[in-house]
A and B are shown apart, each in its own frame.
Chain A
C-alpha cells in the first residue's frame, strides 16, 4: 500500500519537474500509474497526494494549464525545487557533523538528520566529514546538546514557524490552579537549559513569557498560518532575560562560616578573614539581592553558617530553619 503510494508520489515529482507547462489533473492521471478509474476516488486520492507533497516541502505550483480555458494545472519549477550548489571545506564538513548531532528531541533531531542527508547528496565533500569528525581534532572541541523534554515544545515551535496563535493552560509558579492563555508567539528561547515561549498575550494585552514546563496539557492552534505578526525590533531573548532577571546584588551581609565550609560563598566574597576570638570560624562579607531568596540559599549550609548582619536576613534565616523542625 505504502509502496504504491510512494511510487505514485515519486512519479508525480519526476513528471512535474520534467514539464515546463502546467499539467492538468487529467494529464497527470494519464501519465502516472496507480490512480483509480473512478473519478471521485481519483479526485480524493489526488487531493491527498498534493497535500502530502506540499507537506514534504515540494514547491507544487498551480496556474492556468492553457490560455483558452480556466483549467488549473500543476508544475514544479526546478529552481524552486533543487537545493542550490553548496561546497564545503573539510573543517566546515566536520562542524556540520557536530551540528547535526546537537538536537536530541524527536521534533528537530529528525529534521537535522534529514538536512544532513540532503547536503550529503549535494556535496561530495561530506563523505568523510560526518564520521571523520568523530576522530578529527574538531570534535575534541565543544559538543552542545539541546533537549526538549517539555511536551509543549513541538506544537509551540510549529506555531512560531507558521506564525499561528495558540491557547494553552498555564500553571504559574507557586499556584495550584491553571489559567487559560491565548498567545501570539514571537519566538522560543532556551535559557539556562530551559525552554520558554515569548509573545503577545491577548487577554493581558501585553508581551508575556512562559516557561514551557509550566504549560499543562495540550497546546492548541488558535488561528490560520501567517496570522501572527512579530513587531519590528522584537528581541525575544531579551524578553526572557528580563523575565528571568537576576536582581542587582546591592545589599551586604556579614556571615560567620566554619573553616573549610561555604566554599562557593568564599569564591564570591568581598572579604574573608578569621573570626576574632572564635577559632575554627571565618568572617565573610558578601553582596546579595533579595532577602527571602538569599536566606533560603544560606539555610542550605545548616550549622556551618551564622548570619551576623543585616537583621532582616538573620530573621528570615531563623524562620526558614524553624520551618524544618
Chain B
C-alpha cells in the first residue's frame, strides 16, 4: 500500500493539508520540522514548500496585506499570525463517518474500554451534521463460539500472561494444544484472531477465535521474543509462500462462493458460468476437503495426484455405506 514514489498532490489535497497544518503549528508555541513532517506524512522538503506557500499568501485589496506570518529556523517552525485560519476546518462527511464507523466497530469488538463511548459522543458533537451519514454504515462482527474467549484473551494480554490454547485446525480436522504468548487481538474480515508467539511452532501465528475450543491463562509471564514481528494483516491474512502447492480447481456456478471466500491467485471464466481458480496452499488437505464438499460442482484440474486423492477419499467414504 505504501510506495516510495513521490506523490502527486492535487491543489485541493494540498489546500486541505495546509488548512490543518497552519492551525496545528499555530496552536503550539513551536513545532519541530521533523515532527510536523512525520505527523502530516510528508518530507521536510514538502513541508517547507507548504510553509512557503502559506507565507506567500497576499491579499491586495482593500490594502495589500499578508495574513499569515511564520518562520522556520533551527529545525523549528513558529506561526505568529494565522488570522482567520487559526482553527482547523470542520470534519467533512467522509472524515466524520470514517472515524465514527471505526469507533463503533471497536466498541462492537469489545475494545477501547470506557473511552470509546466518551470519544464517540465528543466526535459526534464536533462533527454535527457531517456525522449523520455514518449511521448508514453498520459493521457486525462474528462473535466467537466460546463465550468469554475474547474477554479471557484480553485479560491475558493486558496482564502480559502466557495462555494455553486448545485449537481446531479445520483443514486437517484436528485438535491441537499449544502455549501461546499473546501479542494482540485483531478483527479482520469480520472475524476475531489472536496473534501470538506460538511456543510449539516457535513462530508468530494467528488463531481464529471461533476455532478456539478452550483457553486457560497460565501463571507465567508472556515472553514474546525480539524477533517476533506483527504480521502485516493489512496486506491480507494469507500470504502464499514458495513452498505452497499450486492447485487448479474448476468451479460450477453453485460453487462460485469459493472464489469469494478463499484467496485465489487467479480466476478465469470457463464458460457456462464455470470458473477456474488457482489457489496456493501449504497443505492440500484443505483443497481435498473442499472438493469432497463441493461434489459434482468442483473438479481438481491439477495436480493429478490431488485429484486422485479426492476420488479415493470419496470411494472410501461410499464403501462405508455398502
**Chain A residues within 8 Å of B, Cβ to Cβ:** 2-3, 5-7, 9-11, 13-15, 17-18, 27, 30-33, 52, 55-59, 78, 80-84, 86, 88-89, 91-92, 94-96, 98-100, 102-104, 107-109, 111-122, 124, 137-147, 157, 160-161, 173-176, 186-194, 213, 230, 236-237, 240-241, 260-264, 267, 296-297, 299-306, 314, 318-325
Please determine whether A193 and B190 come into contact, CB atoms closer than 8 angstroms: yes
Q: What are 28 A-B residue pairs whose CB atoms fall within 8 Å in the complex?
A: A10-B85, A56-B15, A57-B92, A57-B93, A82-B90, A83-B89, A86-B122, A98-B112, A99-B112, A99-B119, A102-B101, A104-B1, A107-B94, A117-B40, A141-B185, A142-B106, A142-B109, A145-B187, A173-B254, A190-B140, A192-B140, A194-B260, A263-B175, A267-B145, A297-B293, A299-B293, A320-B295, A321-B318
| Chain B residues touching A, majority SS | helix
**Chain B residues within 8 Å of A, Cβ to Cβ:** 1, 9-12, 14-21, 23-24, 27-28, 39-41, 49, 53-54, 56-62, 67-68, 83-85, 87-99, 101-103, 105-106, 109-116, 118-119, 122-123, 125-126, 128, 130, 133, 135-142, 145, 150, 154, 157-158, 168, 170, 173-175, 184-192, 211, 213, 233-234, 253-254, 256-257, 260, 272-273, 288-297, 310-311, 313-321
Bound CA–CA A269/B247 (angstroms): 33
Tell me which residues across on chain B come within 8 A of A187, comparing CB atoms: 135-138
Cβ 8 A contact of A18, one of B83, B290, B317: B83
| Chain A residues touching B, majority SS | helix
Q: Which residue of A has the minimal Cβ distance to B139?
A: A190
Bound CA–CA A176/B270 (angstroms): 11
Q: A52-B12, A264-B170 in contact; A10/B90 too (CB < 8 A)?
A: no
Tell me which residues across on chain A come within 8 A of B170, comparing CB atoms: 264
Q: Which residue of A has the minimal Cβ distance to B156?
A: A140
Please determine whether B316 and A302 come into contact, CB atoms closer than 8 angstroms: yes
Cβ 8 A contact of A142, one of B83, B186, B310: B186
Q: Which residue of A has the minimal Cβ distance to B315?
A: A325
Q: Which residue of B has the minimal Cβ distance to A143?
A: B186
Please determine whether B115 and A318 come into contact, CB atoms closer than 8 angstroms: no
Please determine whether B291 and A117 come into contact, CB atoms closer than 8 angstroms: no
Bound CA–CA A325/B309 (angstroms): 10
Bound CA–CA A43/B288 (angstroms): 67
Please determine whether A112 and B98 come into contact, CB atoms closer than 8 angstroms: yes
Please determine whether B186 and A88 come into contact, CB atoms closer than 8 angstroms: no
* Whole-angstrom distance between the Cβ of B191 and the nearest chain A Cβ: 6
Please determine whether B314 and A302 come into contact, CB atoms closer than 8 angstroms: yes
Please determine whether A302 and B91 come into contact, CB atoms closer than 8 angstroms: no
Identify 16 new A-B residue pairs, CB closer than 8 A, beyond the known A83-B126, A92-B118, A114-B94: A2-B9, A10-B15, A32-B60, A33-B59, A83-B87, A86-B122, A86-B125, A91-B113, A92-B119, A117-B17, A122-B23, A138-B112, A146-B102, A147-B189, A299-B293, A319-B295
